[in-house]
Amino acid sequence: MLALKKSLIGKDVILFLGRIHSKKGCDLLIEAMSRIAQRFPWAHAVIAGPDETGSAATLKKLARARGIDDRITWVGPVYGEERWFLYNIASVFILPSHMENFGMTVAESLSQSIPVLISDKVNIYTSIVKAGAGFVAPDTVDGTTSLIDRWCRTPEAERVAMREQAQSLFYREFRAIYTAEDLIRLFQAEDAPQAQRLGLSRRNSNDNRTPDGTQERNFGLLLAR
């Protein structure tokens, strides 16, 4: 992972973290990256998550056909510390999904002060727009391209404000939902080794500051989706 971090120095890292599945819109991300490649040579996508349907090979072939295989890094499944490491190096999170009831990875991104680029098929998109915690567009190639284009054009001062809004939104609207799902996964795990096999692990990230100024240690439980 340290080698990955070195390779991404100076890049605007756009993170996709989730199942590699047709409903997640990874093909839209690749097509969009090919469209913005010349305009924003510093933009780089990192795609992480389990390939449950064998889609990754087809997507990698698409990236090669579009001439952008060097603009995308494929990480594979990540758990525990590796998962939080990816959030740490990301500039923004993207989920151009065709269907998403909630999107736990969206909530995780917000909790780490990472703005999100999501489709209007992610059910919490209205909260994102209202809070100014990211951008929303249709789940199409044009829509996904507009998300990345808009982000790459966003000045640093505005990005800072979006990061602050992202974490504030998490604590205000999604923390209770996220914690509830964490607890369900904990009680479903029979023991620690079983929890590890399921992809559950305690966060060891730094303390986060809550909106009221107090310090709170993150002890969430994670499950790769």
Residue 101: what pLDDT? 82
What is the spatial distance between Cα 34 and Cα 43, in angstroms, rounded to a whole number? 11
What is the spatial distance between Cα 176 and Cα 151, in angstroms, rounded to a whole number? 29
Q: Please give the model's pTM, rounded to 2 decimal places.
A: 0.80
Residue 111: what pLDDT? 93
- Is the distance from CB of 68 to CB of 90 less than 8 angstroms? no
What is the spatial distance between Cα 77 and Cα 72, in angstroms, rounded to a whole number? 16
pLDDT in tens, the chain (225 residues): 878 888 999 999 999 999 999 999 999 999 999 999 999 999 999 999 999 889 999 999 999 999 999 999 999 999 989 999 999 999 999 999 999 887 889 999 999 999 999 999 999 999 999 999 999 999 999 999 999 999 999 999 999 999 999 999 999 998 877 665 655 554 454 444 444 443 443 333 333 444 444 333 333 333 333
Say which CATH architecture domain 2-163 belongs to: 3-Layer(aba) Sandwich (3.40)
Residue 1: what pLDDT? 82
What is the spatial distance between Cα 83 and Cα 75, in angstroms, rounded to a whole number? 10
Tokens of 172: 């205000």
Residue 178: what pLDDT? 66
For the chain, which residues make up each domain, given as ranges?
A: 2-163, 167-216
Tokens of 21: 């599945």
Residue 204: what pLDDT? 36
